[in-house]
Structure 1
Amino acid sequence: MTDTALVVGGTRFIGRHAVADLTENGYRVTTLTRGNREDPFADDDRVDHIEGDRTNDRDLEAARLSADPDIVIDCVAYRPADVAAATEIFADVDGYVYVSSGAAYAAEHVPKREGETPLEACTPEQATDDSDATYGNRKAAGDREVFAAAAEGVNATSVRPCIVYGPHDYTERLDYWIDRVLTYDRVVVPGDGDNLWHRAYVEDVASALRIVAERGEPGAAYNVGDRRALTLEETLETIAAVADTTCTVVPADADALAAGGLEPTDFTLYREYPHLLDTCALADLGWESTPVEEAMARSVADHRDSDRDGNEWDPGRDAEERVLGVKETL
Structure 2
Amino acid sequence: MDTALVIGGTRFIGRHTVEEFLDHGYEVTVFNRGNHDNPFESDDQVDHVQGDRTDDAELASAAREVEPDVVIDCVAYHPRDVRTACRIFDDVDAYVYISSGSAYGAEVMPKREDETPLCDCTEEQAKDDSHESYGPRKAEGDRAVFAAAEDGVNAMAVRPCIVYGPHDYTERLDFWIDRVNEYDRIVVPGDGTNVWHRAYVEDVASALRVVAEAGEAGEAYNIGDRRMVTLEEMVELVADCLDGAEPRSADESSGRSPRDTEVEVVHASERELGIGDLSLDDYILYRDYPHVLDTNKLAALGWESTPVDEAMQAAVDDHLDSDRDGSEHDPGRENEERVLGVLDTL
TM-score (norm 2): 0.94
Query: Which residue number corresponds to residue 84 of structure 1?
Result: 83
Q: CA–CA distance in 2 between the matches of 1:191 and 1:111?
A: 21
Which of the numbers 284, 294, 299 marks the counterpart of 2:310?
Answer: 294
Q: CA deviation at 1:46?
A: 1.1
1:40 equivalent in alignment to 2:39: yes
Query: Which residue number corresponds to residue 122 of structure 1?
Result: 121
Which of the numbers 255, 259, 278 marks the counterpart of 1:262?
Answer: 278
Query: Which residue number corresponds to residue 104 of structure 2?
Result: 105
Q: CA deviation at 1:317?
A: 0.4
Q: CA–CA distance in 2 between the matches of 1:199 and 1:138?
A: 21
What do the CA deviations read for 1:136-178 (whole angstroms, capped 9, x no partner)?
0000000000000001111000000000000000000000000
Secondary structure at 2:38 match in 1: coil
Moved over 4 A (4+): none
Query: Which residue number corresponds to residue 343 of structure 2?
Result: 327
1:307 equivalent in alignment to 2:306: no
Secondary structure at 2:59 match in 1: helix
Query: Which residue number corresponds to residue 23 of structure 2?
Result: 24
Query: Which residue number corresponds to residue 247 of structure 2?
Result: none
Q: CA–CA distance in 2 between the matches of 1:96 and 1:184?
A: 45
Q: CA deviation at 1:26?
A: 0.5
Q: CA deviation at 1:42?
A: 0.7
Secondary structure at 1:10 match in 2: coil
What do the CA deviations read for 1:104-132 (whole angstroms, capped 9, x no partner)?
00000100000100000001111111111
Query: Which residue number corresponds to residue 221 of structure 2?
Result: 222
What do the CA deviations read for 1:253-285 (whole angstroms, capped 9, x no partner)?
112111111100000000000000000000000
What do the CA deviations read for 1:214-234 (whole angstroms, capped 9, x no partner)?
100100000000001111000
Secondary structure at 2:278 match in 1: coil
Query: Which residue number corresponds to residue 11 of structure 1?
Result: 10
Q: CA–CA distance in 2 between the matches of 1:329 and 1:113?
A: 46
Q: CA–CA distance in 2 between the matches of 1:19 and 1:308?
A: 23
Q: CA deviation at 1:66?
A: 1.2
Q: Give the number of equivalent residue pairs.
A: 329
Q: CA–CA distance in 1 between the matches of 2:288 and 2:235?
A: 18
**Percent identity (aligned):** 66
Q: CA–CA distance in 2 between the matches of 1:276 and 1:110?
A: 6
Q: Structure 1 counterpart of 2:125, which letter?
A: Q
TM-score (norm 1): 0.99
What do the CA deviations read for 1:301-321 (whole angstroms, capped 9, x no partner)?
000000000000000001000
Q: CA–CA distance in 2 between the matches of 1:230 and 1:86?
A: 36
Structure 1 residues without counterparts, runs of 5 or longer: none
Q: CA deviation at 1:324?
A: 0.8
Secondary structure at 2:149 match in 1: helix
1:64 equivalent in alignment to 2:63: yes
Q: Structure 1 counterpart of 2:223, which letter?
A: V
Q: CA–CA distance in 2 between the matches of 1:136 and 1:266?
A: 20
Q: Structure 2 counterpart of 1:98, which letter?
A: Y
Query: Which residue number corresponds to residue 199 of structure 1?
Result: 198
Secondary structure at 2:176 match in 1: helix
Q: CA–CA distance in 2 between the matches of 1:26 and 1:231?
A: 37
Q: CA–CA distance in 2 between the matches of 1:69 and 1:200?
A: 27
Q: CA deviation at 1:133?
A: 0.8
What do the CA deviations read for 1:176-201 (whole angstroms, capped 9, x no partner)?
00000000000101000100110000
Q: CA–CA distance in 1 between the matches of 2:265 and 2:13?
A: 30
Query: Which residue number corresponds to residue 258 of structure 2?
Result: none
1:231 equivalent in alignment to 2:230: yes
Q: CA–CA distance in 1 between the matches of 2:345 and 2:226?
A: 39
Q: CA–CA distance in 1 between the matches of 2:228 and 2:173?
A: 14
Q: CA–CA distance in 1 between the matches of 2:110 and 2:264?
A: 30
Query: Which residue number corresponds to residue 298 of structure 2?
Result: 282
Secondary structure at 2:312 match in 1: helix
Q: CA–CA distance in 1 between the matches of 2:262 and 2:309?
A: 16
Query: Which residue number corresponds to residue 132 of structure 1?
Result: 131
Q: CA–CA distance in 1 between the matches of 2:109 and 2:32?
A: 36
Secondary structure at 1:327 match in 2: helix
Q: Structure 2 counterpart of 1:19, which letter?
A: V
Which of the numbers 247, 250, 256 marks the counterpart of 2:266?
Answer: 250
Query: Which residue number corresponds to residue 53 of structure 2?
Result: 54
1:272 equivalent in alignment to 2:271: no
Query: Which residue number corresponds to residue 255 of structure 2?
Result: none
Secondary structure at 1:132 match in 2: coil
What do the CA deviations read for 1:224-258 (whole angstroms, capped 9, x no partner)?
00001111000000000111121111111112111
Q: Structure 2 counterpart of 1:257, which letter?
A: L
Q: CA–CA distance in 1 between the matches of 2:284 and 2:276?
A: 16
